[in-house]
Amino acid sequence: EAQVTQNPRYLITVTGKKLTVTCSQNMNHEYMSWYRQDPGLGLRQIYYSMNVEVTDKGDVPEGYKVSRKEKRNFPLILESPSPNQTSLYFCASSLRQGMNTEAFFGQGTRLTVV
């Protein structure tokens, strides 16, 4: 089954404790991205990747890191989480940018930083 898989689905952590949210897709998609979703603000892009070893900042990259060592995986790293990073996070992938290709979303990770 074609899908985007995020883990964990729920996470409660403390300020400053490094964490990684994993994202994996099995559709051989080139383009992957991370979004955070907050009430009243919608989905805001954190980082995106056009292909392996090619990443770039989205609209709200501060406090986050990403890597794209393999085509299927695009982990999101919070080196020192803070309470303002409490949010619902979505990973998404699409075949490539610049074409009529829809984005497929993972099921989301609800992160709480206390």
Partner 1 sequence: GQNIDQPTEMTATEGAIVQINCTYQTSGFNGLFWYQQHAGEAPTFLSYNVLDGLEEKGRFSSFLSRSKGYSYLLLKELQMKDSASYLCAARGDYKLSFGAGTTVTVRA
Q: Provide the binding-site residues for partner 1, judged by CB under 8 A.
A: 33, 35, 40-45, 48, 50, 56, 58-59, 90, 92, 97-98, 100, 102-108
> CA–CA separation, 41 vs 34, rounded Å?
15
Residue 102 CB, shortest distance to partner 1, in Å, is 4
Residue 18 CB, shortest distance to partner 1, in Å, is 26
SS3 annotation, 39-59: CCCEEEEEEEEEECCEEEECC
Residue 107 CB, shortest distance to partner 1, in Å, is 5
CB distance 22 to 78 below 8 Å: no
Which of 49/85 has CB closer to partner 1? 49
**Using only C-alpha atoms, what is the Rg of the chain?**
13
